[in-house]
Structure 1
């Protein structure tokens, strides 16, 4: 089991230290960290010097993969703009003259969940821009629609009638912890026909739980997905802008799962 980390924390001195400490202490846990300096790559310029100083430090850890954030606005954003943002990330090493600025793939946020042929073509072109060539080390693609309907996940033709076959990981559920506990949602997710290695679950607004209960939650998420992120941050729009007090225990739970 691995951690898909929305690393939207501004990297002031020491701000990313919880990730570095966790990666060092738990070398068997794989972290896929999404960097997001300007709600995207800062397309007309480079990220500010604080990001330029911190992003290369991620490369010191063999168990941290780095993805660049690109929002598609549910494919309403012009495809040319999406491709330009992908190019910006790809050009970071050359522009900065620093190979450690190379990211390993792209995290596409705000992707559609309901299959439509024209949207598929849009996302296929975007995915190919990451997958083709050597501009991204792992050529890794993640989609985050926020929710994939249980009817899709439980269909024997899920890979044919969705966007899942374009990705390495799809976030099938990003919501408040309480909504994940809903019986219909919980049961449907655990009977998914899609391989767990292709799926991620992100839960925020967790209550203050014991380590034993956190272990149990991680085990239950693992019944659906091999990738997860949990946080007890409860402030809207701030869920991923800080490391929550539970982060260290979350990594411990994943390491022992």
Structure 2
């Protein structure tokens, strides 16, 4: 189990410190961190000075992977614009002269969930561009459709009729905590045969949970995916613009689960 963190938090003084502290204290936990300085990479300019100071710090932690945010508008955005944004992230290192001012791949947001041949070709081209970027470490590709229905995930032809074979990680559920608890949603999501290491779940509007309940929730998510993020921020459109107050506790619980599995 690992953490997928949409870090849309402006890097004002101390804002990213909880992430640094968690990565240092919990070296068995892997973090994939999505950077989004300008609803993308800041086309036509570099991110401001605070980003130029803070992004390289992330590279000091071997358990942190960084991804640049690019929206596809469900493949309605012109593919050339998507490729230009990917290329802009790739150029950060060169333009700044800062070796560690880079990302390791791209988080393609607003991707479609139902299969379409044209969308498949579009996302294939975008993924190939990511893997060809010279400054990226590994060229990691993530998709976020927000939701992939259990019917698709449990289909025997899911790998032929989805975009899962184009990605290293796909967010299969980004919804409220309340919706996650719906038995008609939860049970089918846990029945798929896809490698969980390729899947992620993001839950927002999480209520305050005791440590015991949080452990239970993390265990339940792990039945579906190996990557997760939980936030108890409830304000619409602000879910990822501040680190959730439960962040440290969430990482501790995830680390504890890793330790239990190693002992078991």
Give me the TM-score of the superposition, normalised by structure 1: 0.99
Shift, 1:132, TM fit: 2.6
Check conservation: 1:158, 1:193, Cα contact below 8 A: no
Q: Which runs of 5+ in 1 are unaligned?
A: none
Distance 1:133 1:71, change over 3 A: closer
- Which structure 2 residues correspond to residues 103-252 of structure 1 after superposition, within 5 A? 103-132=103-132, 134-252=134-252
Distance 1:185 1:86, change over 3 A: same
Runs (4 or more) in structure 1 with deviation over 4 Å come to none
CA distance in structure 2 between the partners assigned to 1:164 and 1:256 by the alignment = 29
Shift, 1:148, TM fit: 0.3
Shift, 1:209, TM fit: 0.6
Between the two proteins, the alignment pairs up a number of residues equal to 257
CA distance in structure 1 between the partners assigned to 2:137 and 2:20 by the alignment = 20
SS at match of 1:108: strand
CA distance in structure 2 between the partners assigned to 1:193 and 1:156 by the alignment = 9
Q: Which runs of 5+ in 2 are unaligned?
A: 258-264
Shift, 1:133, TM fit: 5.2
Check conservation: 1:171, 1:200, Cα contact below 8 A: yes
Give me the TM-score of the superposition, normalised by structure 2: 0.96
